[in-house]
Structure 1
Amino acid sequence: MCQMTSIRKRTWTAPNGEEKNSWQVDYADSSGKRRRKAFARKKAAEAWLTTAAYQVTQGVHTPDSQSITVTKAADLWLKRGEREKLEASTLAAYGQHVRLHIIPLCGDRKLSQITRPMAEGWRDDLMEKLSRPMASRVLRSLTAIVSEAQSRGYVAQNVVAGVKMRRAKREKPKVVIPTKADLKSVINAAKTSTEPMAYPLALIAVFAGLCASELRGLPWRCIDLKAGTVTVDQRADLKNVIGPPKSEAGYRTIPLPASAIAALTAWKLACPPTDQDLVFPSLAKRVMSHQYMNVNIMGAIQLAAGIADPVMKDGKPALDKEQRPMMAQRHTLHDFRHAAASLWIEQRVNPKRVQKWMGHSSIQVTFDTYGHLFDQADQDGAIAAAIEHEILKPTNVNRY
């Protein structure tokens, strides 16, 4: 038990003459300071004191009077994100987590009152109301909120950090990987496109596996035509603002095949100069929007190549004004990123190298996403050249 602890009944008369009573716990916290806490029932006081006594001995007890609510902690966390200039889209997502899910769930609860079983219950509530990926993101935000408050001294421990969103055994990451036939068709269509940047864009998307934001923010200084590499050290967010990669792992250098280097060399001569030295600028010579790059360039290439699927409405193919089936591109920019990873893995690239080239923060992310594709063997030699030959050689064989 805590030093100098006691539970005593306190009785008093309210202003209206009514007699009231409560059970008061007197105890010393970890620093030896005297604390008091009142309960309506003796059993509740005894149960609380048992828990508090253990927390004091472990140095993880926080008096309620020195703690703050989850709502207040969330506000501190969001303001820190603003000070650190997180991307607008990231802040917006965090704000939605807090406003729509966390505050309604537990906003009025003080951090010092949160227990592990309580946090486990919140996890279960989130899983019942939200999809598993969204529930996982909200839980991570809640964990970060309590961690921020802990660093400020508003709570001595983060019990939410131990609550995990375990993946169901049958659940696997669902990634769309374009077939080799689709990749070859897209590259061939890009080569004959009237859009001059289509061909180098398609090649670097397929062979380098850059994120859409990295392609949109790519500067010419990061293309080494002599070494045959592309380096990632910046990206464009959803508001077209150039900034650093999302994480330290985002900084990386990736080899490019000769065909990509040749296409980029030719495109550099034709590329309109921009203030930001962009490889793939918009018509206005600024950062190209994600929508334009994905639909107007890569989407148009796929439609020209016949890499498209009918648009469905109410279970039936949608028709245009001429009563013809409406078609939509089959693959997004992110699908080509998956294609690059699958091609590297097929060439027996070591998992750690795939992780590095993809810019994953941990090898676990790489295994979670592409584990089913790995053959645990490394390959020495010119990997980029082997992939280039596999994709561009004349063949109609579809090995996927």
Structure 2
Amino acid sequence: MAIRHREWITEKGTKGSAWVVDYYSQVGKRHVKSFAKKKDALAFEAKTRIEVNGKVHVADSETVTVAEAGKLWLAACDGLERSTVAQYTQHLNLHIAPLIGKKKLTEITIPAVRAFLDKLKAEGRSDAMVRAVRVSLGSLLSDAQERGLVIRNAVKDIGRAKGKAKAAARHKEQVTVGVDIPTPEEVRAMLAKAEGKPRVFMMTAALTGMRASELRGLRWADVDLKKAEVTVRQRADAYHEIGSPKSAKGRRTIPLPANLVAALKEWHKECPSGELGLVFPSGTGNIEFHANIVKRWYHPPQIAAGVSVNTGDLDKDGKPIVAAKYSGLHALRHFYASWLINRPEDGGLGLPPKVVQDRMGHSSIQMTMDVYSHLFPKGDDAGTMDNAASVLVG
């Protein structure tokens, strides 16, 4: 491996020069790479010497561009859910390829990734979108690593970004009762204004904590009214396709309270039949659209019950226009978690964290605690402390 300074005269008669690194890869193939500055040539030579000795070097001529690697990456995603592949495709076509698609994989260094992420943000992408694209780029580079097209995954090498993410998580506001989580009084009022299928659906969501996709894909075959339990075995995605639960922990059995069992029994008599045997199908027995559930089943009872917020707009008669306070169905899942956690004297079940994790179908106990740790009883309220202290000091 050698570094030499090369000079020449261009066609225009001007003097040109470059620093050239001449080396053989671990497979004995000769490569020549030029640099405008000597310090860049020295840095490349030092890095390449280590890679060649470790038999892990990939020359520029033996790799591909980010856009080309992206096509290989998407082709390997066939086994993933359709919505996931669609998201990856959007990230590649709308964000990654336009900015760094022409770069060779070997050019995707830590500084290059930082510049790319900064560019995304400068062009108006939200913080959430930048994080999502960063994850997709990391997945693309991991796929390229497995193909031997690049040695390092610069996304994974950015340790500072991980530290920043943890710091941001510490400052993220936790879900709050009355803001993110409906209060028991609000849920009671919403159910009082709901009728038929919407009421049974909302009861099931609030008293099982099932995800919207799990409720949309729920079959009568998975509801055991005699044992008063429901088993989550599948879910319906955004494309109306039935698939497995979100994770292995998503497969779970949830006990049903007596009033929900009674409501489901009555609903079963009226439920539209269909080949899928769904509990909450459309009027034709097929998978219901998520938007229809939100707009037709979930929002109207909230507004009727006064569980609403002022939009700031006026109708044609000059009256304030109100909207549902809880826009997403996930609020009922949050409510279920809080109901499991709250003490019996506060109207809850007082279950331990591990049981809450199992009921919610979280992939890890860490996820449960990250979201809901502040809701668990601290065990040091005045009454508990007084009783404990009296045992010690009389």
**Class of the TM-score when normalised by the shorter of the 2 chains:** 0.7 to 0.9
**1:68 alignment partner AA:** V
**Corresponding position: 1:6 with 2:2:** yes
1:350–1:376 contact (8 Å) kept in structure 2: no
**Corresponding position: 1:96 with 2:90:** yes
Aligned counterpart, 1:182: 186
Aligned counterpart, 2:74: 78
- Displacement of 1:58: 4.3
* RCO comparison, higher one (Cα < 8 Å, 6+): 1
Give the 5 Å matches for 1:80-229: 80-81=76-77, 83-87=78-82, 89-128=83-122, 129-163=124-158, 164-165=161-162, 166-167=164-165, 168=168, 169-173=170-174, 176-190=180-194, 193=195, 196-229=196-229
TM-score, normalised to structure 1, is 0.82
Distance 1:59 1:266 in 2: 69
Local SS of the residue matching 2:374: helix
**2:376 alignment partner AA:** F
Distance 2:232 2:156 in 1: 32
**Corresponding position: 1:34 with 2:30:** yes
- Displacement of 1:85: 4.9
After superposition, the C-alpha distances for 1:243-266 in whole angstroms (9 at most, x for unaligned) are 222333322222221111111122
1:216–1:288 contact (8 Å) kept in structure 2: yes
Local SS of the residue matching 1:311: strand
Local SS of the residue matching 2:20: strand
Local SS of the residue matching 1:108: coil
After superposition, the C-alpha distances for 1:129-187 in whole angstroms (9 at most, x for unaligned) are 43322221111111011011111111122121132352324223556111111011122
After superposition, the C-alpha distances for 1:310-350 in whole angstroms (9 at most, x for unaligned) are 222xxxxx222333322222222111111111111223323
5+ residue gaps in structure 1?
313-317, 378-400
- Displacement of 1:282: 0.8
Local SS of the residue matching 1:101: helix
Aligned counterpart, 1:348: 350
Aligned counterpart, 2:263: 263
Aligned counterpart, 1:372: 374
Aligned counterpart, 1:326: 321
2:21–2:33 contact (8 Å) kept in structure 1: yes
Distance 2:318 2:119 in 1: 47
Q: Which range is displaced more, 342-351 or 180-189?
A: 342-351
After superposition, the C-alpha distances for 1:211-268 in whole angstroms (9 at most, x for unaligned) are 1111111111111112222222211122322222233332222222111111112211
> RMSD of aligned C-alpha atoms?
2.4
**2:104 alignment partner AA:** K
- Displacement of 1:55: 3.0
- Displacement of 1:32: 4.4
Aligned counterpart, 1:298: 298
2:277–2:285 contact (8 Å) kept in structure 1: no
Distance 1:143 1:85 in 2: 17
- Displacement of 1:19: 6.1
Distance 1:107 1:292 in 2: 39
**2:18 alignment partner AA:** S
Pairs aligned (count): 362
**2:245 alignment partner AA:** P
5+ residue gaps in structure 2?
343-348, 380-394
> Measured at CA, do residues 234 and 53 of structure 1 come closer, stay the same or move farther in structure 2, by a change above 3 Å?
same
- Displacement of 1:26: 1.9
Aligned counterpart, 1:396: none
1:60–1:157 contact (8 Å) kept in structure 2: no
2:273–2:284 contact (8 Å) kept in structure 1: no
2:8–2:15 contact (8 Å) kept in structure 1: yes
**2:269 alignment partner AA:** L
Aligned counterpart, 2:278: 278
2:64 maps to which of 63, 68, 74: 68
1:348–1:376 contact (8 Å) kept in structure 2: no
Distance 2:376 2:126 in 1: 28
**1:369 alignment partner AA:** V
Distance 1:368 1:75 in 2: 36
Distance 2:98 2:356 in 1: 41
